[in-house]
Every structure is written in structure tokens, then in C-alpha cells.
Amino acid sequence: MKQHANNEGIRLKNWSTGEVLYDTLHSTSNVKALNCRSTICTANHMNTIKEVKPIRTGDAVLDDAKKFIDEFYASIEKFGSAEHLNRWSEIKTQIEESDGYIMKTEELKYGATVAWRNAPRCPGRIQWKKLQVFDSRHVGTAQGMFEAMCTHLQYATNGGILRSAITVFPPRQKGRCDFRVWNSTMIGYACYKQPDGTLLGDPFNLELTQAAQKLGWAGKGTRQDILPLIVQAGDGEAHFFDIPEDLVLQVPLRHPKYEKFTDLGYKWFALPGVSCLKLDCGGLEFSAIPFSGWYSDSEIGSRDLGDKHRFNLAPVMAGIMGLNTETNESNWRDLAVSELVVAVAHSFREAKITIVDHQTAFTKRRPSETFIEHSKSEHEERGGCPTDWVWVNPPGSFTTPVYHQEVLFYWIKPLYDYQDQPWKTYNFGKHFRGTLEKREIDYLKRFRHMARAALFAQRMFMKAYANRTKAHVFSKAFKPESMHGSNQIILARFVLE
């Protein structure tokens, strides 16, 4: 890649087709997302976990807010209008008074959709204009967060015809804890460490499962238990909620050729929902923004099922196929993973669940070709398309046009950014003490009510006993013990009456 001589931008060539694009959009980026130096490139680093930074104040908010609101009014063709200028005056006053401001719903929706458009690691953002934005900034409790996420799941799942959606909770704010969703994905499978050290379930979620257990959650102990949603509202207390079964659509995995794979009984959830990111928009940071779209077949087949550090089903499938796993010369892993992808695509199609694959019903073209078209359109419309080459290329990508496409990796705002893992800094000891104190208080309340009831019953008994009608029973065969027993019965009868 090289800078074009006529300052048209950075030249990007597709080495398969020979087509050339020029990126000028990168010049608008002021986000330092990479630690590249003159002699070292770190673009291939995952960088999916970041440290918590202080909440922005003053000029840091003001500068981003100004740029954002200008872009918003330009998008609706009202840049420089009285409405635009008055709105900026309102925002500026709020920031000067509180280091923040309240976005209007239409501004938030614009920011959330453009953030998806700007996401360099998402190959499916051609659909960015169709994103459904649920404004949940009014929610103030963990219970409210859970209910909003259930609404999201129901809308997005849509009986298998998946719809992209995002739910936005309140932004970071001085004087309160950040709203957070602990789950990396809205739906995920738990992982249990067995006594012999082996893992049962999805190793990706081992730490989250252990955190959930510390909070008091107990799963069934199977290899595909659905994890609860773990959320924190402004009070900072973590709460877990089991997702209703009718909101979790799962697809039984079957292979069209290898019945033994079907007999394994694996399944996968239909809706991929990333819930650990934050939305950096207009100077504000929305730290809880569960987002969902749809899967690509290779994402499940190759990564989730095939990777060694996940379910590691490649050796299992290879055994079913009768491949020699003792040597790499048989290419058993490549062949097995390909069949896992076939199983996923077949299962989702049979269940009529939305999935992006080489036979996609939406375009009748490969997703990579769709992305290529989107990239061309973006260069024409706004001068660039930020792209992380590593992430947009699926496994086996050497057969697709994206593999041969030069790209530029940069970040521009609004953007979806990574955050820390909240359970690593959460004070579980405080949580336990708080829970025990609450239990003790509840116990004392119940004991006090029981004591009052017992005292009342005792008083009523003594009053009835004092007013009882005395009687003696004489039997023909007089015996003290029979008299005593009869007297007890009569006394009891009169007291009860």
C-alpha cells in the first residue's frame, strides 16, 4: 500500500480483481486503538480487554459532543440551521454544568447505527441502517435491565427470522457505578471444572461460570447449560437472572451424511448477542449495550465447535469420518472442521433459522462478496471503510475476494469499544456480607412475627383457661388415672369450645 500521488488517499488494491480504491476517511480518526510503532505492527493483537478509565469531563466531552452533533444535523440535512445551533447551545450548557448531557432519542439511534457502520471487525455491517435501537436509559435497576434484555431477545429472535438490535442502558456518570452486563454474549454455555481437572462445557465461559457460582447460581452440570444474565445497575450490586427457556432458541446440530454426529446431541443457540462492549458516542460512554445480529456458519463450526480451546469437536468429527488423526499429513483437522461447518449450515437451514453462509437467502452470494460490495459503496459515499483484515476473513478465506483485498484498520467515532471484565474487580466478599446481612434481617423479621403470634396465642389460651367450665367425670370403676385422662379430655373440650 502507498499514498496516492494526487492526495486522493491511501491506495488499496484487490490482488485478485485488480480493482483499486482510495481511503481518505482514515484522516478523520483521532482514536489511538493500536500500539504500532515504526518497526513493529500490532494490528493482529486481539485487544479485546481494556482497563477502566476515569469518566470523561470538561473539554473531552465538549469536543466529541460538538463533532457528533454536527455530523448528526448534517445527516438530516439541517447543518447550520437554527435548530442545530439551538441544540448545540443546550448541550454546551449541560456539559458546563454537569460534565455531561442528555441525548435525544433520535441522536442516540443515529449514534448507535453509525457505530455499527464504523465497526472495523464486523463483516455484516452492510445492514447497519436496519439496526433496531431500544432506548433503555430510563432503567435504573438490575431487574429492569433483565426485563429490557428479555424484550430484546424476544424481538431479535423473532421465531428464527433474526433481526439486528441493540439495547442502550444509562451512560457512565459521576457519582454512581457503571451499568454493566457481565456476559460476553447474551446467551452462552456454562463451563464446569471437574475434580480431575477436565472441563465440561464451553471453556470460553469458565471464569464467568465461576463468577456466577460465587453469586449463588447453580447450574445443572451438563455440557450445555445456559448461563444466567449477570447485570449491574447504578448501585454496583451484581445480580443474576435465569433466562426464560422460551426466549432461548437452540438448534439441534445434525449432519446430512454422518448420523453418528447427530447422535452426539449437540446444539447451538440461534442468536449471537455481544453484551460486553460499550458505545463511545458524542463524548458519552454507554457501558451496557447488548447487541445482536446473526451468525455465519464458519463462526460456529470452525471457532465455537472446532477450536481446541472451545468444544474441540474436530477430533470427534475426524473419528466419525474415519480419518487418521495420528498424522497431520491426512489433513484430518481441516476436513473435520469443514464438515462441522456443513453440519451447522444444514441444521440452521433445516430449522429455518437465519444464518449467513455460502447459500445465503438474502443475496445468493458469498458474505465476503457482499462485504466487498459494501466496502466499494462506502469508499464512494464517504471515502473509506475501516476494516480489520484478520476479523473479516472467515476460515478458509483464501477462496474469497476479501483474502486478496488490501484494507486499512482504524477506528472512528461513534464506535463500539472493549471494556474490562467486571467480575475480576468485583468485591464478592462485600456481596456475600451484604447477602448474609439481608438474610439475617429477614430472619429476625420472621422471628419477631412468630414471637408476636406465639405471645398472642398464649394470652388467648390463658384467658380461655381461666374462664373454663370445670367438670369431673366419675366412672363406675374409679381409677385415678382414668379420671385424670377423662378430666383432660373434658378440659380440652371446654377450652377449645
Of the candidates 94, 27, 25, the one whose C-alpha atom is nearest the C-alpha of residue 65 is 94
- 294 is a catalytic site residue: yes
Counting beta carbons within 10 angstroms of the beta carbon of residue 5, is it exposed (0 to 12), middle (13 to 18) or buried (19 or more)? exposed
CA 280 vs. chain centroid, Å, equals 17
The sign of the dihedral angle between the CA atoms of 351, 353, 358, 359 is: positive
Distance from C-alpha of 294 to C-alpha of 271, rounded to nearest angstrom: 6
> How many residues are listed for the chain in this entry?
497
Active-site residue, from 56, 116, 117, 122: 122
Distance from C-alpha of 311 to C-alpha of 142, rounded to nearest angstrom: 31
Distance from C-alpha of 296 to C-alpha of 311, rounded to nearest angstrom: 17
- 97 is a catalytic site residue: no
Q: Give me the torsion for CA of 282, 284, 288, 294, rounded to 10°.
A: 10
Distance from C-alpha of 343 to C-alpha of 336, rounded to nearest angstrom: 11
Task: Let me know: does 101 contact 91? Beta carbons within 8 Å.
Answer: yes
Task: Let me know: does 145 contact 152? Beta carbons within 8 Å.
Answer: no
Distance from C-alpha of 13 to C-alpha of 19, rounded to nearest angstrom: 6
Active-site residue, from 285, 299, 339, 378: 299
- 122 is a catalytic site residue: yes
Active-site residue, from 116, 128, 294, 423: 294
Q: What is the CA radius of gyration of the chain?
A: 32
- 437 is a catalytic site residue: no
Active-site residue, from 125, 172, 254, 310: 125
The residues annotated with a catalytic role in the active site are: 122, 125, 294, 299
